[in-house]
Structure 1
Amino acid sequence: MLAETICSAVSAAGLGIAAIAAYRKRFLTAARIAAYALVPLGLVLTGVVEWAAGTVFSPLAWVGVGVLGAAWGLFMTTRAVERRRLGKAAAATDGARPGAVAPSAAAPALGKAGRPAAAQPRPKAKGKQQAAEPGEDFSDIEAILKKHGI
Structure 2
Amino acid sequence: MIAETVCSAVSAAGLGIAAVTAYRKRFLAATRIAAYSLVPIGLVMTGVVEWLADTAFSPTAWAGFGVLGVSWLLFATTRAVERRRGGTRKERRTAAKEAAGREPVAPTASAPSLGQATRPAARPANQPRRESASEDFSDIEAILKKHGI
Alpha-carbon distance between aligned partners in 2 of 1:106 and 1:59, rounded to the nearest angstrom: 66
Matched, 1:90 2:117: no
Deviation digits for residues 37-85 of structure 1 (CA, Å, limit 9, x no counterpart) = 111111111111111222233221121122233334445628938x442
Q: Which moved more, 1:3-12 or 1:17-26?
A: 17-26
Matched, 1:16 2:20: no
Alpha-carbon distance between aligned partners in 1 of 2:25 and 2:46, rounded to the nearest angstrom: 33
Q: Amino acid of the residue matched to residue 41 of structure 2?
A: L
Alpha-carbon distance between aligned partners in 2 of 1:72 and 1:47, rounded to the nearest angstrom: 28
Matches within 5 A, 1:50-129: 50-75=50-75, 77=78, 80=82, 83-90=87-94, 93=97, 95-96=99-100, 104=107, 111-114=120-123
CA RMSD of aligned residues (A): 3.7
Report how many aligned residue pairs link the two structures: 115
Amino-acid identity (%): 57
TM-score by length of 1: 0.55
Alpha-carbon distance between aligned partners in 2 of 1:52 and 1:84, rounded to the nearest angstrom: 40
Alpha-carbon distance between aligned partners in 2 of 1:103 and 1:69, rounded to the nearest angstrom: 51
Flag structure 1 segments of 5+ consecutive residues without an equivalent. 116-120, 122-150
Q: Which moved more, 1:10-19 or 1:27-36?
A: 27-36
SS at match of 2:10: helix
Alpha-carbon distance between aligned partners in 2 of 1:39 and 1:56, rounded to the nearest angstrom: 20
**Whose Rg is larger?**
1
Alpha-carbon distance between aligned partners in 2 of 1:10 and 1:23, rounded to the nearest angstrom: 20
Q: Amino acid of the residue matched to residue 121 of structure 2?
A: K
In the alignment, which residue of structure 2 is the partner of 1:49?
49
When residues 4 and 103 of structure 1 are mapped into structure 2, their CA distance, relative to the original with a 3 A threshold, is farther
Alpha-carbon distance between aligned partners in 2 of 1:87 and 1:97, rounded to the nearest angstrom: 16
